[in-house]
Structure 1
Amino acid sequence: MGEIIRVAFDAVLANKLRSLLTMLGIVIGIAAVITMVALGEGAQRSVAQRLQTLGTNVLTVRPGQAFQGGLGRGQASMTIEDAEALRENPKHIGAVAPEIESRFQVEYGAGNANLSVVGTWPDYFSINQGKLVAGRLFTDAEDRGRRRVVVMGALAGAQLGLKDSTSLVGESIRIRGIPFEVIGVLAEKGAQGFSNPDESLYIPMATAQFRVMGSDRIRSIAVQAVDDKSMDDAMLEIDTTLRREHRLRPDAQADFNIRDQASLLTTMQETTQTFSLLLAGIAAISLLVGGIGIMNIMLVSVTERTREIGLRKALGATGMDIMLQFLVESLVLCLAGGTLGLLLGIGGAAVLQKVAGWTVVVAPEAIVVAIAFSASVGVFFGIWPARRAASLAPIESLRYE
């Protein structure tokens, strides 16, 4: 076996350029699979972290389709009275926070930016697990008094040309030309879908409605159940309360939607996993192409070395010896290509994380599967050339020119 392995390595090293080009398909395939799986795993980890951040007992209520006489008549609306009704005598509801949002020009000194401004109640921060890094949050009294105070996201200051948002605490900024005092800065949470709460500004709901936006319609209501086991009861309580507020019969079509954050993010995670498998499958096609390339080169190698095979058989080599020699050559090519592809894939994932800021996770399982798969490709596509070499007749092989 030692002699067979040595001869196989010598044959591979004798044609370095051809061996390198032969391995290229395996290198690209393994690198693509590792990178795609790392991106998919990172996306799933990101969704899981977001689920922990939002909490599993949070419900979101949004306006739905308004109906009259069984026909839709446009988008329904929700007002602050709906949120106040949910907060009155709650049984399974722990906290309520309505939300109104719009984009405005924000100014500080010579810097200005168009940022998202969110009007809400103080419970919004506890529901969404917002943590302070500087200053304080606004209170219910400041909401009732329509005070011009603002809590900034972690990266909002950067949009205004500042290195650190915490330096704005105690300073005055202008939202839509109206001066606001910065009283606090939140810890960074990361982007969530198409929005980034770190670049948003948060002001009291009453201030937003009467001083900034001039509207009593709210975009959504975040509702936190008392615990995970009370989710169904909380949904039923929300449905009953809002139907009463909107004067809807129990059998009528609801003009609002209740969404479970945990279910929504679980769906996102499943979708991400599906896309990850799809991308990995597409990348695996290049492995198939690379394997076919190796089989082609090995068949050429058998033809080129027909006299060598005849000579080895004449000196006593068995068909199994010849078969093992070509199988080892194929295996060496695939394992070497798999190793290079693995290093290239890990490097590519690291570059994407640094340049694009994407979350990537190279799982140990992916590394083991990649190496095992490259070895399997070597064996699978090396069988036919090896069997063909082993079946050559010694006399005919020695006569081959």
Structure 2
Amino acid sequence: MGILQSIKMALKSIKGNKLRSVLTMLGMIIGVSSVIVLVSIAQGSTKNVTSQINQLGTNLLTISTFSTDVALTEDKISELSKLEGVKAISPVVSGRVNVKKDRTTSQVSLTGTNAAYSQVRDTKVSAGRFITDLDIEYRQKVAVIGSSTATTFFGTEDPVGQYLQIEGTSYKVVGVLVSKGSSMGQGGDNTVIVPLSTGQRLIGSTTISQVYLQGKSEDQMDNVMNEVEMKMASLYPNQSDSYSVTNQQDVMDTMSSVSDTMTLMLGGIASISLLVGGIGIMNIMLVSVSERTKEIGIRKAIGAKRRDVLIQFLIEAVVLSSVGGLIGIISGLGIGELVSSLFSLSVSFSSSVILFSFLFSLIVGVVFGVFPANKASKLNPIQALRYE
């Protein structure tokens, strides 16, 4: 008997027991759709985290100090800016301030920095301008505000050119930032950026405890980090515990490793349901062998070879698993889109994951279909014909 004929007989047998076939495929449908949905959610989360880290700036190094003994003065910051591979440097002071306009009052994050901050932290303005070096030199009372701050105090009005009361002092709004949304769990739009000198006066401290450095090239970031660490060691000998130098890429690598582990774990958990579906296929196929014992005996009595019977039952198992896999793919894509819209989750579908889950369902069908198919092919035709 040819393969085509075996496939036709297998499909005919499946159609003859539609309800049982659907229930058998249900395990594969659930398994495949689970793999696609869970892995897609995990991959979407990974992309979302990567995007949030990238919002912090590109080719970014962060120097943070933990002690007042380690003072990042202008002279030392200037020395760091002269290092080979450093494109721009931005010292920062930060805190919380009370902002008021008319009857609206709110606490807002304050950042005092220089003109390079816009480039280093990839911060753009949607209206007006950013802080300039002249603003710092002349201690200008100007502010660039986040999009949320603009909405809170000005509604739909254009904030540029208007004034805000920051800690009781009037500041002119010269720019509004492009919305960045939340980054690493923190909202980045409810903020006020002022010149470094003005920010130091507002928070009542001249201590600079954080500096951002931007490298010239992503490929050189490891070398730049080594240079910065060596320079910091020479500026602050025997005080390495009082400061840290963080590479943005290290953070991304760590998050990527965690995300990959989570994706693998979720995929593994979902794959268990595929194995359960395979066991269901084997169980149903064994029942089918018992029900069709006389049919098998008749076929073997009229000349069917062991291989023909083996192929027929194996094809039935593969068809059940493959059809279940295809329906599972459609279900997984639909459920993924539904979850994304209902729970505002980032879902990223991958063709490789979809292909893997389908192929895995086929392999499961073959593996768990071999035993019942082998049992059917080994039946003695005389005993099979006498079976009641």
Residues 33, 280 of structure 1: 8 Å contact kept: yes
Partner Cα separation in structure 2 for residue 193 and residue 235 of structure 1: 22
Q: Normalising by the residue count of structure 2, what TM-score does the alignment of the two structures yield?
A: 0.86
The root-mean-square deviation of aligned C-alpha atoms, in Å, is 3.0
Change (3 A) 1:286 1:233: closer
Give, as a single letter, the amino acid of the residue that structure 1 aligns with 2:42: G
Partner Cα separation in structure 2 for residue 226 and residue 114 of structure 1: 36
Partner Cα separation in structure 2 for residue 337 and residue 206 of structure 1: 67
Change (3 A) 1:310 1:232: closer
Secondary structure class of the residue paired with 2:126: strand
Change (3 A) 1:227 1:365: closer
Partner Cα separation in structure 2 for residue 203 and residue 53 of structure 1: 20
| 1:86 match | 77
Residues 87, 95 of structure 1: 8 Å contact kept: no
Secondary structure class of the residue paired with 1:384: helix
Change (3 A) 1:176 1:385: farther
Secondary structure class of the residue paired with 2:186: coil
Change (3 A) 1:260 1:322: same
Give, as a single letter, the amino acid of the residue that structure 1 aligns with 2:246: R
| 1:68 match | none
Change (3 A) 1:278 1:24: same
Among candidates 367, 383, 386, match of residue 380 of structure 1: 367
Residues 182, 188 of structure 2: 8 Å contact kept: yes
Partner Cα separation in structure 1 for residue 128 and residue 217 of structure 2: 29
Task: Return the offset for 1:245.
Answer: 5.2
| 1:331 match | 318
Task: Return the offset for 1:56.
Answer: 5.4
2:2 is the alignment partner of 1:11:
no
Partner Cα separation in structure 1 for residue 105 and residue 375 of structure 2: 74
Residues 58, 122 of structure 2: 8 Å contact kept: no
Per-residue CA deviations over 1:227-284 (Å, capped at 9, x if unaligned) read: 45654564455445545654x35xx544211111122212222221122112111111
Task: Return the offset for 1:287.
Answer: 0.9
Partner Cα separation in structure 1 for residue 345 and residue 11 of structure 2: 40
Among candidates 36, 39, 42, match of residue 40 of structure 1: 42
Give, as a single letter, the amino acid of the residue that structure 1 aligns with 2:28: I
Residues 153-192 of structure 1: pairs in structure 2 closer than 5 A? 153-157=146-150, 162=155, 167-175=158-166, 178-192=169-183
Among candidates 109, 112, 125, match of residue 132 of structure 1: 125
Partner Cα separation in structure 2 for residue 158 and residue 18 of structure 1: 60
Residues 59, 224 of structure 1: 8 Å contact kept: yes
| 2:30 match | 28
Q: Which runs of 5+ in 1 are unaligned?
A: 65-74
Residues 53, 183 of structure 2: 8 Å contact kept: no
Give, as a single letter, the amino acid of the residue that structure 2 aligns with 1:220: Q
Residues 63, 210 of structure 2: 8 Å contact kept: yes
Residues 58, 120 of structure 2: 8 Å contact kept: no
Among candidates 319, 336, 341, match of residue 306 of structure 2: 319
Change (3 A) 1:344 1:168: farther
Residues 296, 381 of structure 2: 8 Å contact kept: yes
Give, as a single letter, the amino acid of the residue that structure 2 aligns with 1:7: M
Residues 56, 183 of structure 2: 8 Å contact kept: no
Partner Cα separation in structure 2 for residue 56 and residue 189 of structure 1: 14
Residues 55, 183 of structure 2: 8 Å contact kept: no
Partner Cα separation in structure 2 for residue 161 and residue 337 of structure 1: 56
Per-residue CA deviations over 1:309-339 (Å, capped at 9, x if unaligned) read: 2222233322222222211221121112111
Residues 77, 218 of structure 1: 8 Å contact kept: no
Per-residue CA deviations over 1:147-184 (Å, capped at 9, x if unaligned) read: 3333233444456694x6x8433333444565443322
Give, as a single letter, the amino acid of the residue that structure 2 aligns with 1:25: G
2:147 is the alignment partner of 1:121:
no
Change (3 A) 1:232 1:372: closer
Q: Normalising by the residue count of structure 1, what TM-score does the alignment of the two structures yield?
A: 0.84
Change (3 A) 1:339 1:77: farther
Residues 55, 262 of structure 1: 8 Å contact kept: no
| 2:334 match | 347
2:154 is the alignment partner of 1:151:
no
What is the identity percentage for the equivalent residue pairs of Structure 1 and Structure 2?
35
2:341 is the alignment partner of 1:359:
no
Change (3 A) 1:11 1:42: same
2:206 is the alignment partner of 1:216:
yes
Change (3 A) 1:118 1:16: farther
The answer to which of 101-110 and 339-348 deviates more is 101-110
Residues 352, 358 of structure 1: 8 Å contact kept: yes
Task: Return the offset for 1:47.
Answer: 5.0
Change (3 A) 1:329 1:106: farther
Secondary structure class of the residue paired with 1:168: coil
Partner Cα separation in structure 2 for residue 373 and residue 127 of structure 1: 46
Partner Cα separation in structure 2 for residue 190 and residue 147 of structure 1: 28
| 1:71 match | none
Task: Return the offset for 1:377.
Answer: 0.9
